[in-house]
């Protein structure tokens, strides 16, 4: 099963693609999609849309995993912009007919680290360990996306 995890944001969207086969997790691809603040909002959303479309075309995932939207009342504009980035990603998912699964950040951390309130560093270390990476990815957005994909694999298999 090929799983695409995406950590959406307007400036830096992280992604990670893993394959679960023969009881092993294998990293297929991971990286970031960046947009510039000087670009208009439609240009930034279009870049995310096109990049995710190409990623799906290149990797052919069986499922896409996103983090559930958490909005803090002190930062409504951030939630608004994040929601738009998530929206175009969900649109790609629908157009490509790929199942979409969402998990709360605490659920992902519990699946990966064993603690729902684990730190970003703990998640990074565990993701690197699970995927046998030599180094921790530079961007936490990439680690978060990989954590989403790994968590989905664990959660989906535990329901069988």
C-alpha to C-alpha distance for 96 and 55, rounded to whole angstroms: 11
C-alpha to C-alpha distance for 97 and 31, rounded to whole angstroms: 23
Residue of 46, 58, 62, 67 with catalytic role? 67
Facing residues of 102 across strands? Answer: 66
96 catalytically annotated: no
Tokens linked to 117: 């309130």
67 catalytically annotated: yes
Question: Using an 8 Å Cβ cutoff, are 56 and 43 in contact?
Answer: no
Residue of 62, 96, 134, 141 with catalytic role? 141
58 catalytically annotated: no
Taking Cα atoms as reference points, which of 95, 72, 69 lies closest to residue 83?
69
CB atoms within 10 A of CB 65: 27
Residue of 7, 96, 102, 134 with catalytic role? 7
C-alpha to C-alpha distance for 87 and 60, rounded to whole angstroms: 20
C-alpha to C-alpha distance for 137 and 8, rounded to whole angstroms: 17
Using DSSP's 3-state secondary structure scheme, residue 119 falls into coil
Residues with a known catalytic role:
7, 67, 141
């Amino acid at each position: 099963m090929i799983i695409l995890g995406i950590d959406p944001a307007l400036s830096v969207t992280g992604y990670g693609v893993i394959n679960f086969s023969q009881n092993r997790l294998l990293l297929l691809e991971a990286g970031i999609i960046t947009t510039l603040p000087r670009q208009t909002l439609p240009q930034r959303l279009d870049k995310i849309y096109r990049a995710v479309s190409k990623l799906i075309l290149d990797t052919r995932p069986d499922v896409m995993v996103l983090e559930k939207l958490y909005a803090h009342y002190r930062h409504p504009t951030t939630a608004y912009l994040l929601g738009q980035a998530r929206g175009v990603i969900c649109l790609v998912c629908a157009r490509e007919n790929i199942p979409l699964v969402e998990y709360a950040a605490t659920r992902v951390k519990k699946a990966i680290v064993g603690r729902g309130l684990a730190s970003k560093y703990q998640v990074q270390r565990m993701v690197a360990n699970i995927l046998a990476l030599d180094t921790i990815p530079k961007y936490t957005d990439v680690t978060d996306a990989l954590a989403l994909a790994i968590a989905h694999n664990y959660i989906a298999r535990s329901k069988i």
